Amino acid sequence: MTVAVTKEADLKSKFTGALIGTAVGDALGAPMEGWSFEKVRSVYGNCNYYNSYSNKKGWKMVCRYYTDDTEMMIGVAESLIRNNGFDGADMARTFVQNAKRKRWYGPGTMEVLERIRAGESWEDASGKLFDGEGSYGNGAAMRIAPAALFYYDNPDMLREVAYKSSHITHSHRLGTEGAVLQAFAIALAVLRREKEGMLADLRESLQDNAYIYSEKLKAVETLMAKGGGKEDVIAELGTGEAAFNSVPTAIYSFLCTDNFEDAVSYAVSLGGDTDTIGAMTGAISGAYYGAECIPDEWLSQLEEGKKGKSYIIWLADELYYRYYFLRLKFCETFC
Ligand SMILES: [Mg+2]
Q: How far is the CA of 108 from the centre of ligand 1 (A)?
A: 13
Q: How far is the CA of 239 from the centre of ligand 1 (A)?
A: 13
Q: How many helices (H) and strands (E) does the chain have?
A: 17, 0
Q: How far is the CA of 68 from the centre of ligand 1 (A)?
A: 5
Name the nearest CA neighbour of 151 among 203, 121, 123, 191: 191
Q: Give the SS3 label for residue 311.
A: helix
Q: Give the pLDDT of residue 42.
A: 87
C-beta of residue 279 within 8 angstroms of C-beta of residue 26: yes
- Whole-angstrom Cα distance, residue 106 to residue 139? 9
Q: How far is the CA of 66 from the centre of ligand 1 (A)?
A: 8
Q: How far is the CA of 232 from the centre of ligand 1 (A)?
A: 24
Q: How far is the CA of 21 from the centre of ligand 1 (A)?
A: 14
Q: How far is the CA of 58 from the centre of ligand 1 (A)?
A: 25
Q: How far is the CA of 147 from the centre of ligand 1 (A)?
A: 19
Q: Give the pLDDT of residue 5.
A: 44
Q: How far is the CA of 98 from the centre of ligand 1 (A)?
A: 14
- Whole-angstrom Cα distance, residue 184 to residue 154? 10
Q: How far is the CA of 208 from the centre of ligand 1 (A)?
A: 30
Name the nearest CA neighbour of 248 among 261, 235, 262, 229: 235
Q: How far is the CA of 14 from the centre of ligand 1 (A)?
A: 23
Q: Give the pLDDT of residue 56.
A: 53
Instruction: Please state, as a whole number, how many other Cβ atoms lie within 10 Å of the Cβ of residue 41.
Output: 18
- Whole-angstrom Cα distance, residue 95 to residue 115? 12
Contacts of 157 (CB under 8 A, 6+ apart): 151
Q: Write out residues in the chain with pLDDT < 70, as ranges.
A: 1-9, 48-59, 335
Q: How far is the CA of 181 from the centre of ligand 1 (A)?
A: 19
Instruction: Please state, as a whole number, how many other Cβ atoms lie within 10 Å of the Cβ of residue 153.
Output: 16
Q: How far is the CA of 138 from the centre of ligand 1 (A)?
A: 10
Q: How far is the CA of 194 from the centre of ligand 1 (A)?
A: 30
Looking at residue 312, its amino acid is I
Q: How far is the CA of 275 from the centre of ligand 1 (A)?
A: 5
Q: How far is the CA of 152 from the centre of ligand 1 (A)?
A: 24
Strand partners, 242: 137
- Whole-angstrom Cα distance, residue 177 to residue 129? 17
Map out the domains of the chain with their CATH numbers: 8-334 (1.10.4080.10)
Q: How far is the CA of 156 from the centre of ligand 1 (A)?
A: 29
Q: Give the pLDDT of residue 49.
A: 58
Strand partners, 137: 242
Q: How far is the CA of 197 from the centre of ligand 1 (A)?
A: 31
Q: How far is the CA of 67 from the centre of ligand 1 (A)?
A: 5
Max distance between CA atoms of the chain, in angstroms, equals 63
Q: Give the pLDDT of residue 311.
A: 98
Instruction: Please give the model's pTM, rounded to 2 decimal places.
Output: 0.94
Contacts of 72 (CB under 8 A, 6+ apart): 95, 98, 139, 142, 143
C-beta of residue 260 within 8 angstroms of C-beta of residue 296: no
Residue-level length of the chain? 335
Q: How far is the CA of 46 from the centre of ligand 1 (A)?
A: 22
Q: How far is the CA of 91 from the centre of ligand 1 (A)?
A: 19
Q: Give the pLDDT of residue 332.
A: 74
Long-range pairs of 4-9 with CB within 8 A, sequence gap ≥ 24: 4/191, 4/192, 4/193, 6/190, 6/191, 8/324
Q: Give the SS3 label for residue 18.
A: helix
- Whole-angstrom Cα distance, residue 72 to residue 80? 12
C-beta of residue 195 within 8 angstroms of C-beta of residue 255: yes
Q: How far is the CA of 109 from the centre of ligand 1 (A)?
A: 11
Q: How far is the CA of 4 from the centre of ligand 1 (A)?
A: 33
Q: Give the pLDDT of residue 1.
A: 40
Q: Give the pLDDT of residue 208.
A: 72
